[in-house]
Structure 1
Amino acid sequence: MYSIGPLTVAPGERAHGLIPVGTSSYGVELGIPLIVVNGVQDGPVLCVDAGVHGDEYDGQEAIRRVLAEIDPATLRGTIVGIPCLNTPAFEAAARASGIDHLNLNRIFPG
C-alpha cells in the first residue's frame, strides 16, 4: 500500500484525490490534486509536479496524460503526480495566486 495524505493506493492500482490545505471563505474545501499510480512491485517513488504558475497548462496536461497511460501492472514503484501545485492561480488563470498575489516560483521555499 502507498499512502499520501488521505489517499491510500493498493499495489497495481491508481487513484486520485486531494491533499486538503484548508477551507475557502465560502466553505469549499481547498486542496492540492494528486494522481497516484502504484506498481505491483516495490520500488522507488517518483513525484512529478506542474502548475506552479496557474496559466501554464502544458505541464499540467502532460502529467494527466502520461499517468493515464502508465499500466500499474507493469510498474515497479510508485509515481505521484501533482498536476496543479498552485490551484488559486489556476482558478484565476494567472501566473500568481489571487489570494496573496505572489508568484509561487519566486517565494520558495515559502
Structure 2
Amino acid sequence: MTPTNELRLLPWSTPDGKPCYLSTDENGGPLSRLADRTEAAQLSAGAELLEHAEEVLTDAQAEPDDLRLLAADLAGTLQDVLRVAMSRGHRLPTPDPAVERQAEGPSLPAASFG
C-alpha cells in the first residue's frame, strides 16, 4: 500500500483563504506535529460546540441572535472538521486491488439469495 498523496493538507489556510500544504518525507517533523496538535484542538472544539448547540437548540427561550451566532460558529467548525477529514483521508494508504479482491471472498450471483 502507498499513500494516495505526497502533500499533506494543513489544518489552516493562507490569509486569503487558500489551502496550505506540507511537502516532507518526515512524518514526525515539527510542522507535522504542530498540524497534528492543531487538528486535535479543532476536533475538540467541535465536540464542545456540538454540546453547546444541543443546549441552545433545546432552549425554548433562545433568541434569534443566539441561533444566528450558533449557526455561524457551527459553519466555521464544520469547515475545520471537513479539512481535517480531507487531510487524514488523503494520507490513508491506497489499497492494493489484488489484496482487496482476496479479502472480499467468493462472489455469488444475486439469484443465489432467492
TM-score normalized by structure 1?
Answer: 0.21
TM-score normalized by structure 2?
Answer: 0.20
